[in-house]
Amino acid sequence: MEQSFRGFDSADMRDASTSRAETTVALHVCPTCSSALVQPICWEQAGDRGHWRLWRRCPECDWRSEEVHAEAAIDAFDEELDLGTRALCDVLKALEHENMQFVVDTFAVALEADLITADDFR
């Protein structure tokens, strides 16, 4: 029995490209709103040692995902999370410094104006 070639449609090509070829995906970027704040919710090893099942969530649009990714993509995601953590720590440190400077300046002004007495420290 002979079958004729029916050709490819776009769905066949799309399915073939996503299922067989591993692409480098920026896991920290939301595919819905393009926010770079996508966060991991949970993760576990998926079958072999080179793949991880990852649950992610975008805090901007509440997009959610559960997918299996290769170790390289997970490592890149981890690096982005580390960069974000460092950036948040830097901002926190600057805010703490600014807040403490305000407290010191306010205390100095109160001392100069004789608004603080020994009774304030009991």
pLDDT in tens, 6-39: 444 544 444 433 433 345 569 999 999 999 999 9
Two structure tokens written together for 14? 């799309």
Relative to beta strand 64-70, strand 39-45 is unpaired
H helices then E strands: how many in the chain? 2, 3
Domain ranges of the chain: 28-114
pLDDT in tens, 38-59: 999 999 999 888 999 999 999 9
